[in-house]
Amino acid sequence: MAHPRTTLVPALVALLIGASALAQEARIDLGGLRADPKMPVEVTADSFAVDQATSAAVFSGAVRISQGEMVITAASVTIEYAADGKGIRRLLATGGVILRAGMNEARAESADYDIGSGEVTLTGDVVLTQGSATISGQRMVVNLADGTGRIEGGVTTTFVPGSN
């Protein structure tokens, strides 16, 4: 029979190494944060301006973007159109950004949604809430196609054991 200390020490070392890695980057299952990038995008806002020279449109004031069950709200959103003018290439949101889908909600200072890749990158004091659990960091990348993501930069998490 192995001595309890012999089995406990390697387990403790593995836990500490894992905790150290978690402090830098956390990979998370965001099953609720899924969206189909091929679905129509609806935008509402207080004002709208188009810049033909840059192929961009700027929505400002209480901006709400929806695509299927996913909703992004922000103070301002710049939409960059594809080079051929047929479709949206990316959405750049700033000012109190909130991304909601299902029971998940992420808050950040800004968000960059690349329509083609289906990835949303949130930056600046990111806080993700999943039920009673929260995880925060400085940058979060979400793959909307498969519902996975990662959070980087001073990652902190709070959860209630035994809750969903």
Write down the domain spans for the chain: 26-158
Q: What is the pTM of this model?
A: 0.76
Q: What is the pLDDT of residues 11-45, one digit of tens each?
A: 322 322 333 334 445 555 555 566 676 788 899 99
In DSSP terms, which residues pair with 90 in a beta bridge? 80, 114
Q: What is the pLDDT of residues 86-138, one digit of tens each?
A: 888 899 999 999 999 878 899 999 999 998 888 999 999 999 998 888 999 99
What is the Cα–Cα distance from 70 to 134, expressed in whole angstroms? 19
Taking 3-state DSSP, the helix, strand and coil percentages for the chain, each rounded to the nearest 5, stand at: 15, 55, 30
What is the Cα–Cα distance from 93 to 122, expressed in whole angstroms? 9
pLDDT recorded at residue 39: 81
What is the Cα–Cα distance from 15 to 156, expressed in whole angstroms? 16
Contact 88, 55 (CB under 8 A): no
CATH of domain 26-158: 2.60.450.10
